[in-house]
């Protein structure tokens, strides 16, 4: 039984229509407004919560919250809530598209296994939100409210690839969250957040399988910092639609576009761009392209072939795959000044543009 279900899932990839169609209005949410869900989420009553727990195949943690929460700990929980809310919107719409066999989302024979898996994922993400927002409420902090969203995908394969990428960003960011909890004596939250890391990593293995990749990408997953996630999430948010994102004291970088689309597992130059107007007073000679991959120190490269075209600055930077075996997620950022950074925190402090998200194998 298990084996045959597994095989059906592995086949899904080849049954999904890969042809991207032009971006159309979502049938689920023409105006980008996804909440409240039919179960009342994110303000579910007790019955709604029970329905979500059933769908998630598990309950919210029922132990007492820690006695105190630091200011940085509050920011951690707000970022988690902001992130998980957008994931709930995304997976709710993906389920809608697959259920209704929207053009590009007709999976043929893998259908039932896929819907069962996605339903578990969306309910589990809902509990992640309720847990973070519940803790915020307990400590008399504002709960993070949902925004309006728009997702840049119109077919199943791209949707799964996008889920794989944003889940990798989460897997990197929760490392930072745990590190910050530890530094601020918020150790009472580390166990639960680490259990969420495991849950998200199980999801990631599934998304990778759906893309015919090895389930596990690399031995030590790429780290990220909160600011990179905070910026990346806002790519899916309709500008100005978040009721209280302003209460999250994190930095939003200027956008960096990865122009090279297919990135094989080998040494090569990658092309990037950013808007000239965003560069302000900075000189491209003082800029470096810095990569984060695995648990290695940031890799700093100088710009090559800088070209101004229209409103944008295009440049290339070497991607040293062979030296570092840069599999899985790589986070790229344009940094100022330094030729080396001790760690991801120092890199993020010096970053102006980013994150450019690169996935290899």
Ligand X SMILES: *[C@@H]1O[C@H](CO)[C@@H](O)[C@H](O)[C@H]1NC(C)=O
Q: Is 170 in the site for ligand X (CB under 6 A)?
A: no
In order of 3, 200, 288, the CA distances from 111 in angstroms are: 16, 22, 46
Q: Which stretch binds ligand X (CB under 6 A): 43-51, 94-102, 222-230, 319-327?
A: 94-102
Q: Is 101 in the site for ligand X (CB under 6 A)?
A: no
Q: Is 169 in the site for ligand X (CB under 6 A)?
A: no
Residues 209-268 that bind ligand X (CB under 6 A): none
Q: Is 12 in the site for ligand X (CB under 6 A)?
A: no
- Exactly one of 75, 97, 178, 335 binds ligand X (CB under 6 A); that residue is 97
Tell me the chain's radius of gyration from C-alpha atoms. Answer: 20
Task: In whole angstroms, give the CA distance from residue 84 to residue 28.
Answer: 19
Q: Is 125 in the site for ligand X (CB under 6 A)?
A: no
- Exactly one of 153, 171, 196, 270 binds ligand X (CB under 6 A); that residue is 153
Residues 259-318 that bind ligand X (CB under 6 A): none
Q: 287 φ, ψ to 5°?
A: -95, 150
- Exactly one of 16, 102, 193, 221 binds ligand X (CB under 6 A); that residue is 102
- Exactly one of 94, 242, 245, 313 binds ligand X (CB under 6 A); that residue is 94
Q: Is 90 in the site for ligand X (CB under 6 A)?
A: yes
Q: Toward ligand X, which CB reaches closer, 23 or 138? A: 23
For the CB of residue 159, give the shortest distance to ligand X in the complex, in Å: 4
Q: Please count the CA atoms within 13 angstroms of the CA of 55 that sit on its side-chain side.
A: 21
Residues 319-338 that bind ligand X (CB under 6 A): none
Q: Is 93 in the site for ligand X (CB under 6 A)?
A: yes
- Exactly one of 86, 151, 166, 341 binds ligand X (CB under 6 A); that residue is 151
DSSP 20-43: PPPP---SS-TTS---S-TT-TTS
Task: In whole angstroms, give the CA distance from residue 192 to residue 66.
Answer: 11
Q: Which residues contact 106 (CB under 8 A, 6 or more apart)?
A: 16, 17
Residues 21-60 that bind ligand X (CB under 6 A): 23-24, 26
Of 103, 102, 217, give the one whose Cα is nearest residue 171.
217
Task: In whole angstroms, give the CA distance from residue 273 to residue 225.
Answer: 22
For the CB of residue 27, give the shortest distance to ligand X in the complex, in Å: 6
How buried is residue 355: exposed, middle or buried, by Cβ count under 10 Å (0-12/13-18/19+)? buried
For the CB of residue 12, give the shortest distance to ligand X in the complex, in Å: 15
For the CB of residue 23, give the shortest distance to ligand X in the complex, in Å: 6
In order of 103, 155, 160, 163, the CA distances from 17 in angstroms are: 8, 7, 12, 17
Q: Which stretch binds ligand X (CB under 6 A): 88-96, 188-196, 304-312, 329-337?
A: 88-96
For the CB of residue 121, give the shortest distance to ligand X in the complex, in Å: 12
Task: In whole angstroms, give the CA distance from residue 44 to residue 56.
Answer: 15
Tell me the three state secondary structure of residue 189. helix
Chain residues binding ligand X by CB under 6 A are 23-24, 26, 90, 93-94, 97, 102, 151, 153-154, 159
């Amino acid at each position: 039984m298990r084996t045959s279900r597994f095989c059906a899932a592995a086949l899904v990839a080849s049954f999904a229509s890969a042809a991207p169609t032009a971006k159309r209005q979502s049938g689920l949410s023409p105006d980008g407004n996804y909440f409240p869900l039919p179960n009342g989420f994110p303000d579910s009553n007790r019955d709604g919560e029970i329905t979500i727990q059933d769908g998630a195949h598990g309950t919210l943690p029922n132990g007492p919250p820690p006695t105190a929460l630091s200011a940085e700990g509050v920011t951690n929980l707000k970022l988690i809530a902001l992130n998980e809310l957008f994931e709930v919107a995304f997976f709710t719409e993906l389920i809608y598209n697959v259920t209704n066999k929207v053009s590009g989302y007709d999976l043929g024979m893998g259908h039932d296994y896929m819907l069962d898996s996605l339903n578990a994922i969306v309910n589990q993400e809902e509990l992640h939100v309720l847990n973070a927002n519940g803790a915020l409420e307990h400590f008399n902090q504002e709960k993070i409210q949902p925004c309006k969203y728009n997702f840049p995908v119109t077919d199943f394969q791209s949707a799964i690839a996008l889920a794989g990428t944003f889940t990798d960003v989460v897997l990197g960011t929760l490392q930072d969250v745990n590190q910050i909890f530890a530094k601020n004596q918020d150790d009472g939250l580390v166990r639960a957040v680490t259990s969420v890391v495991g849950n998200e990593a199980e999801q990631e293995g599934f998304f990778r399988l759906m893309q015919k990749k090895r389930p596990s990408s690399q031995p030590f997953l790429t780290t990220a910092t909160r600011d990179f996630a905070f910026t990346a999430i806002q790519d899916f948010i309709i500008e100005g639609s978040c009721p209280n994102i302003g209460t999250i004291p994190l930095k939003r970088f200027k956008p960096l576009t990865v122009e090279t689309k297919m990135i094989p597992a080998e040494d090569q130059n990658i092309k990037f761009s950013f808007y000239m107007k965003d560069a302000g007073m900075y000189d491209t000679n003082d800029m470096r392209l810095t990569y984060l991959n695995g648990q290695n120190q940031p890799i700093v490269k100088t710009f090559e072939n800088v070209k101004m075209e229209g409103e944008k600055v295009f440049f290339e930077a070497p991607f040293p795959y062979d030296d570092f075996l840069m599999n899985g997620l790589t986070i790229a950022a344009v940094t100022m000044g330094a030729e080396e950074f001790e760690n991801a925190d120092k890199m993020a402090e010096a970053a102006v543009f980013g994150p450019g998200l690169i996935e290899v194998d």
